Amino acid sequence: MSKRKRLHPVAIFLLSFSALKELIIPMVAAFIFGRGATPLDSSFTAYFISGGFLVLGLYGYLKWLTFTYEIDDQQLKIRQGIFIKKQRYIRKERIYSIDITAGVLQRLFHLVAVKVETAGGGNEPEVSLTAVTEQDADFLKNQLLISHSQEEVSEVDNEAIQIPLSPETEFKNDTVWKLSNQNLLLTALTSSGVGIVLMALIALLSQLEGWIPDEFLIDTFGYLFQSSIIFLIIPVMIIIILAWFVSIIGTVIKYGKFTINKKGDEIEITRGILEKRQLTLSLTRITAIRVVESILRQPFGLATVYVESAGGGSKDEQLSTVLFPIVRKKQLLEQLAEIVPEYAFEQPLEPLPKRARKRYIIRKLIPAALIAVPLIYFIPYGSVGATILLGLALLLGSLQYKNAGIGINSRFLWISFRTISKTLVIIPKRRIQAIEARQSFIQRFRSLFTVQASILTSISGKSFSSVDVGEEQKDAVLAWYSYKK
């Protein structure tokens, strides 16, 4: 139980800056259209900028002044609102994770931000305390999550059997997993973030088009198109290498100092060099484990492991939480046994029927052919690109069929599939919200089905599918999940 408290005064600046980010586009528009033909060095510019910062500062102060929080035995109470007063009560049992981050400014004042996540809370955290002391953050975490977890009961296969947690789950504060510098470098070198950075660079370069003289663009592209294919590949390779370099730096900053501490049934994941992030997650809230082998990591026997949970995911990780940024596949069971022992078992896959292979390949060849035809007619050396594209589509379709499969045991369902990366999802039976089997018009001719399992995550849920399973596989999964025996 605590007294009603306000955020640290540094929150005034953070709240003002947050408002500035949201209002930056309207403010720029107001400045441009409000200024009219007045020159930039006029008094209007000085008044506008000074007035804008004064209003934002006043908004941040009033928001800080009217925001208070307190904890009692059962819930977290939030009071906020400048013009409309709001009172929000969040019961402890609804809180699934607490995310503690420390940005550069917050670290200067030994402060952190606390985000309280609840199941189905959506993209944004249920509550965000932008600046509190580290001591207050630890108190909040202990009161809202850990003490609640100690009283929590276990659920067994959706039955209302309540079993107190064992005495062996008394909290320990040992670092049980750490990302070494060597593995951090390996994570950065094989990060798939290069694709995201590449798209950002292309978007940035497209915005520079208006600043480059048309004659320069025409001459440059005309020269490239008339040159050999080597001169076309060189600038592309330079952009890819630049994107890769930026991706390496971003990954090192993001996953540097990555450690996992296990305390009873809680895991505490800490990471980040510039912005330190600490996520406390209850093992009892994990709804699935996802093992992803990207095309850069699979040849080296490496994978990334994600945790799906009701709360705690982040937008840049598809609302999941990274458990191991990188791990060798042959050591995966050993690593899982240390952190999430329930998931440390072999997952033998039952492959899909051979008649499904043709469908996997055709699904990739059709869109590739639609792109290949205009490539051949309108782009120099388009036939080369079209041949490569069709070859890649054939290879991808074959790999997707080869890597697809499904398996069950008494307590778990696991599904393997490939988009570009190969993914294995392990789902406890008691965490499955629903299982659906469906058959399209075309699947009916070959007696194939799609089986889909849905789980609860940070927003409303996620679904994982195994496409083109056989009828016997479909019946086995439905019978496994059904109450009928």
Pick the range with the lowest mean pLDDT from 166-175, 181-190, 212-221, 357-366. Answer: 166-175
Q: In Å, how far are 141, 182, 300, 306, 435 from 463, measured between CA atoms?
A: 30, 35, 29, 15, 9
What average pLDDT does this structure show over 406-431? 93
Percentage of residues in the chain having pLDDT higher than 90: 25
Q: What is the mean pLDDT of the chain?
A: 81
Q: In Å, how far are 131, 245, 292, 380 from 240, measured between CA atoms?
A: 39, 9, 23, 21
Q: pLDDT at position 423, please?
A: 94
314 against 415, higher pLDDT: 415
What average pLDDT does this structure show over 425-443? 91
Q: pLDDT at position 449, please?
A: 94
For residue 289, the number of C-alpha atoms closer than 13 Å in the C-beta half-sphere is 26
Percentage of residues in the chain having pLDDT higher than 70: 79
Please, which residues have CB within 8 angstroms of residue 158's CB and are 6 or more apart in sequence? 430
Q: In Å, how far are 142, 202, 274, 292, 407 from 415, measured between CA atoms?
A: 36, 35, 37, 12, 7
Chain segment 136-168, per-residue pLDDT in tens:
888 888 887 755 555 544 443 443 333 333 444
Q: Which long-range contacts (CB under 8 A, 24 or more apart) does 375-381 make?
A: 380/225, 381/229, 381/232
What average pLDDT does this structure show over 164-183? 63
pTM (2 decimals)? 0.74
What average pLDDT does this structure show over 117-123? 63
Contact assessment for residue 297 and residue 329, using Cβ atoms and an 8 Å cutoff: no
Q: Which pLDDT band holds residue 120 (cuts at 50, 70, 90)?
A: low
Q: pLDDT at position 377, please?
A: 81
Please give the Cα distance from 452 to 455 (Å, whole number). Answer: 10
pLDDT at 9 over 50: yes
Q: pLDDT at position 332, please?
A: 92
Q: pLDDT at position 149, please?
A: 54
Q: pLDDT at position 163, please?
A: 36
pLDDT at 433 over 50: yes
And the tokens for 322? 């990274």
177 closest CA partner among 268, 293, 253, 276: 268
Chain segment 56-90, per-residue pLDDT in tens:
888 888 888 899 998 887 788 888 888 888 888 88
Q: pLDDT at position 208, please?
A: 61
